[in-house]
Structures are given as structure tokens and as C-alpha cells.
Amino acid sequence: MVYAVNLTEVIYFGFLAETFFMPKTKAQKVEIVNKMAEKIKKAKVLVFTSFNQRGKKGLNFSEMEKLKKDLKKADAEYVVLKKTLLDLVLQKFSISDEVKAKELNGSVAVLLAYQDLVEPVKVLHKLSKKNEALLLYFGLNIEDPEGVASRPYGAGKKIISKDILIELATLPSKEILIGRVVGVIRYPLSCLVNALQGNIRGLVGVLSQIKR
């Protein structure tokens, strides 16, 4: 019997095997931790997720690739990392007491939102409704109003609950919200214009009568 082999799937599972199971040297671990730390320094918000749960079908290669592409368009990034290494990264930011990757279920990945959080969370939430293995745990606000370059590790941190993330994910799009605001603004203005036009017409009528 001959089985069809999907090369991309083989590469994907090879990547997962290398990430989670293959032993790494100390130098490799240091490099991975430092690279992730640099990414976090550029991010405004982190969202901790799981993409694979025991007993459930996790994200396949095509789903993971589409997720990463969609997040890239939203100025965000999805990084898969072993829990022990992720905890080492978090220790650099003095948030390991609040967030411990090893306590999260399943295979963990982190969403890094470099600008707006709403659109990236929408992307995650949409896929999570199709694949129950993708879970949103919580977010972490690490934005520093004084700028990334001068930000000390751990400054301005704030936990964002799963409920808040889902609320953000279900918000109408930015275009719809802008349209609603414009509509609210235009409605009273149109009433004012109509009222003024009516008063002006009335004034013109009165002046015409006086002239006669």
C-alpha cells in the first residue's frame, strides 16, 4: 500500500518536534531566549495561547501558516516556544511571578501585538471557533508610554483577562465604528441645520411682509 506524503506537513511536524522534543545546547537555548526577549521589547501586548490540546486535533500546517500570515497583516506575530524557554524569557521581564507558561495546558504559543491589539485578537478568536484546540488564555499589556527604547523590563505590565480579549475580538470593525460615530455626529448637526434653515426662511418671510 502506498501512502501520499504531504511534504509541507512533514516539515511542519519536523519543526514541532525540533521545538518541543529535540534537546538543545545551552548556547542554542540562550539564543532562543534572547531573540524572544527582543521581540517582546518591541511589542505592546502579549497574548498567551495554546494551539494543541491532548485529545484534540491541533492546528495543522495550513491553519498555522494562514494564522501567521493574517497576523502579520495585522502587525502581529505568533511565536511557538517550549514552556521552559518561555519562562526563562519572562524572567527577564520580571513577570515570571504573574505568568508561568509551565502552568498552562497544551502546547503554548504567544501572540505579539506590535500596534493595535483588536485586529490580531479577532484573527485568533475567529480561528478558535473553528478549531477548539486553539485557546486564548490571557493577555499582558507591556506598553510603556515613554517609549520602547527606555522601557525597563516589567514596566507598565497589566493582565488582560480572557473575557476582555473575547470582548475585543467581537467588537465591530474600525470602519463600522467610525461610521457609527460619524452618524451620531451628523444626526444632531443635520437637525441643527434644518432648524436654522427653517428660522432663516421664517425671518426672510417676516422681512418680506415688513417691506410690503
Q: What is the pLDDT along the chain (212 residues), one digit of tens a residue?
A: 444 445 455 544 444 545 554 667 889 889 999 999 999 999 999 999 999 877 777 888 889 999 999 999 999 999 999 999 999 998 888 776 778 888 999 899 999 999 989 999 999 999 999 988 899 999 988 865 444 434 444 445 588 999 999 999 998 876 666 665 555 555 565 555 565 565 555 544 544 544 45
Q: Kindly report the CA angle at 169 between 164 and 172, in degrees rounded to 5? A: 120
Same domain as 161, residue 127: yes
Q: What is the pTM of this model?
A: 0.69
- Distances 144 to 91, 99, 117, 178 between C-alpha atoms, Å: 18, 19, 15, 27
Q: The domain containing residue 185 runs over which residues?
A: 173-212
Contacts of 148 (CB under 8 A, 6+ apart): 41, 42
177 & 142 share domain: no
Q: Are residues 150 and 185 in the same domain?
A: no
Q: Identify whether residues 81 and 182 lie together within a single domain.
A: no
In a domain, 194, yes or no: yes
Let me know whether 113 and 184 are in one domain. no
Q: Are residues 122 and 55 in the same domain?
A: yes
- Residues 122 and 185 grouped into a single domain: no
Is 86 within a domain?
yes
Domain count, the chain: 2
